[in-house]
Chains A and B, each alone.
Chain A
Amino acid sequence: MSRLVISGNEAVALGVKLSRVQVVAAYPITPQTAIVEKIAEYVEKGELRAEFIRVESEHSAMAACIGAAAGGARAFTATSSQGLLYMSEMVFWAGGARLPIVMAVVTRALAPPWSIWCDHNDALSQRDSGWVQLWAESVQEVLDMTIQAFRVAEDEEVLLPVMVCLDGFILSHAYEPADIPEQSAVDSFLPEKKPAPYWLDPSKPAAYCTIAAPDTYMEFRYEMYRAMKNAERVIKEVDEEWCRLTGRSYGGLVDCYRCDDAEVAILLCGAWAGDAKEAVDILRRKGVKAGVVRLRATRPFPTEDLRAVVEGMDALAVVDRSLSPGLPSILWSEVRAALYDSVKRVYVKGFIAGLGGRDVTPGDFIRIVHSTLEGFRRGEPGEVEWIGLRGGESGHH
């Protein structure tokens, strides 16, 4: 094992190399580009024995990964924002075809207006695609998660593609020291790719992804749904096994920070959990029993784990870096749906913050916690509040 200072994008590339990926097909887009460049370098230098297909678009990147995975290879791609939307048709195809592809999504805002900065709307727009969606907080976690993603995807009880989501710039371009596992350790954790039992074997005639009539289509969709349920267990098992190997565990589907006796918690996903944790430390010193609930998975949505974690809490502040106009925010509504059947329903208030890379500080998170507690005490409806909006929400009515 060695310790190196690397960026989030380099961590992805390193994870891909250590996972002995066989086919990479990718198209550059800011802020993902460094991943593609690094992998190209590994392949050209012979450090990674893979076929690197320099496709002409993201749609083709995912199509090539689908072809490769159908042909039994371990396949990887990476994208961001517009690229993810452009490949969306194939993203859903990979899910329905049950192909264990791994994709790094360096999260970035959607245009227009053009923005290259961090935002979660790109990845979350694909939440019904049949992909497992994992979210990292640190460079180390990006590296570990990339390797783990292949184990989850290729598990025979899962056989679903996996997205590793990392915040654009905030993680992708952040340099942090990370422990780099030995190749032999990764090899023992992630054995060489065996073709799934259903790979397209040239000696076995069969037509893949044919039409399914109304008498079978629902059953195929049910299988996908069931596989996603299985992924809940597998993600946790893989996290535990990785911990036995490296000493690092991230808590499976949900990473809890100072939640044991917490009366209020901030719930979010992604790298800004670090700022939220800093805010919680400050609040704790002032006697506010606060914690952070960081979703590591948004698909499968960790309904049961979430219920267990927030049991006993008074209030939850759900902070979305995404928008669903008319809803108005994604995690907020999903969390509320997940907690609806709780015996003692926790108060849930929503916040929209950080869209298009708007900075969110520990101070903002402190205000978020206070606003949540205030709403809870006053018995106000837990509606969604915009954070840091110029002129405030009323100024924009």
Chain B
Amino acid sequence: MVTIKELTREEYWLPGNSSCPGCPAALGLRMLGKALEGKFVLVVPASCTTVIQGIYPATPSRVPLLNIAFAASASAASGLRAALRIRGLKVPVVVWAGDGGTADIGLQALSGAAERNEDILYICYDNEAYQNTGIQRSGATPYGAWTTTTPLGKREHKKDVPMIVAAHGVPYVATASIAYPLDFVEKVRKAASKSGFRYIHLHAPCPVGWRFPPSKTVEVGRLAVETGMWILYEIEDGVLRLTGRSRVLLDPSKRKPIEEYLRAQGRFSHLDERDVEELKRYVEARWRELKKLLEERGGCLR
């Protein structure tokens, strides 16, 4: 287990950047920097991080960073990896993309890179909407959530990208949450120690887009996990296991009611009973699937 105290005091994502107060992406970038102690290169598609990293000539990034167009991060990282390999450099190439750049417009490049088993670490920080352009629905927006393009609430469930990536048979897939930074750091380090295509899906509650006070970013993230709305797991070589807080939540009685998570956010304030029931049904079904997978097949996906 990683402990707080052993994390480096060094900051690789410097303060005084243009992230919003309480921004989960900025927190995630800080943790990523500490996890790998600055020894990696970043590829960033269009996203909030394009803005957070600042305007020429200054950036908070203390790691080399290549910006790239929205749909192109996994493929640009593939090319960068190839070039660094030629130069004999083993430094990890890490994609840091939002859910729009991952679940939607970048999914083709992501799938291509995963299928080719490119030697890159792809991290999706999932704030569950196009927050940078002002809170529009993405494929990763959950059922019922208000966004500016779903003013009455989204009618479809969240696209399950980590499982889509896992279906490519890549060496490592994990989910993480900004509320559990040490779990995230551990997963980043484990991923970095492997080669081939590695994927981490980081749940990242956005105060602006989800309509909660900026002081609650971590609390909301924690509630997502504790209510079972977001599940922490990792899949190593095709075998899934629950991790961290989620390990004890297979038993439904251990999970907090999802209303606690929904009530904490303005984006769900309009939900009626039927919507809440639908979300409950969805969450229960996901857990049942996982339980079956773990108990009947030892977590073996294929």
- Write the residues of chain A forming the contact surface with B, with a CB cutoff of 8 angstroms: 22-23, 25, 51, 53-57, 59-61, 63-73, 75, 89-90, 93, 195, 200-202, 204-213, 216
Contact = CB atoms under 8 A, between A and B. Distances in A.
Interface in B145-180: none
B83 to A, nearest CB: 3
Given A66-B79, A71-B84, A211 B112 contact: no
Interface string B48-62: 001101111101011
A212 B50 CA distance: 11
B79 A68 contact: yes
A247 B80 CA distance: 38
B300 interface: no
Contacts of B131: none
Contacts of A68: 79-80, 82-83
Contact of A64 (B54, B67, B79): B79
Contacts of B53: 207, 210
Contacts of B112: 55-57, 60
B69 interface: yes
Contact of A56 (B69, B80, B109): B109
Given A56-B112, A59-B72, A67-B66, A211 B81 contact: no
B217 interface: no
Q: Which of the four size classes fits the interface of chain B?
A: 35 or more
Nearest to A53: B78
Interface stretch (B85-93, B199-207, B228-236, B268-276): B85-93
A138 B111 CA distance: 39
Interface of B: 38-41, 43, 50-51, 53-57, 59, 61-69, 71-87, 89, 91, 108-109, 111-112, 115-116
14 contacts: A23-B86, A53-B116, A61-B75, A66-B72, A67-B81, A70-B79, A71-B84, A71-B87, A200-B64, A204-B64, A205-B63, A207-B59, A207-B64, A208-B65
A69 B54 CA distance: 23
A44 to B, nearest CB: 16
Contact of A69 (B68, B71, B83, B84): B83
Contact of A51 (B59, B73, B86, B108): B86
Nearest to B12: A205
B97 to A, nearest CB: 13
Given A55-B78, A59-B109, A63-B69, A206 B83 contact: no
A72 to B, nearest CB: 6
Contacts of A210: 50, 53-56, 59, 67
Given A59-B71, A67-B76, 19 more contacts: A23-B82, A25-B78, A55-B75, A56-B112, A57-B112, A59-B108, A60-B75, A60-B109, A63-B73, A66-B68, A71-B80, A72-B83, A202-B40, A202-B41, A206-B59, A207-B67, A211-B50, A212-B56, A216-B57
Contacts of B43: 67
Nearest to B64: A200
Contacts of A209: 66-68
Contacts of B68: 63, 66-67, 93, 209
A87 to B, nearest CB: 10
B186 to A, nearest CB: 23
A55 B118 CA distance: 11
A57 B55 contact: no
Nearest to A75: B79
Contacts of B65: 206-208
A339 to B, nearest CB: 37
Contacts of B78: 25, 53, 55, 60, 64, 67
B75 A73 contact: no
B75 A63 contact: yes
A219 to B, nearest CB: 10
